[in-house]
Amino acid sequence: MATYCYITDGGDVGTIECSLGTAPKHIKIEGVLAHRDYSTEAAGVPPTKGWPIECIGSGVGAEDAGALRKHLADCGVPTEVTPDGNPIYRNHSHRRKALKKRGLVDKASFI
């Protein structure tokens, strides 16, 4: 279940819980039509600032850095890898694609 936020033109705020992707575009709050408030919903999404990042958690040993670089390039997700074996992700999308190609999932990263 996910929480969806709604706001009326008068500024009244409400939330509902629905299965992911099933929220209606409008609801009534005390009889007044309210529309989805996407900006409030996105408040918990990680910021886009701070990229690129070096990801130690999905890194490999230094001896496998070249193999990781080649594997990701062959999979269509070219990625810089440090000599220590840590991938450098350019943005959320790049990180998500690279992790998916390796069969990795980060359950705490909005992927």
Residue 74, domain member (yes or no): yes
Domain of 39, in residue numbers: 2-44
Residue 29, domain member (yes or no): yes
Q: Is 53 exposed, middle or buried (0-12, 13-18, 19+ CB in 10 A)?
A: middle
Q: What total of structural domains would you count in the chain?
A: 2
What is the reported pLDDT for 55?
92
pLDDT tens-digit map of 55-82: 999 999 999 999 999 999 999 999 999 9
| Residues 68 and 38 grouped into a single domain | no
Q: State if pTM tops 0.85.
A: no
Considering 32-41, 70-79, 98-107, the range whose residues carry the highest mean pLDDT is: 70-79
**Is-contact 6 29, C-beta < 8 A?**
yes
| Residues 40 and 68 grouped into a single domain | no
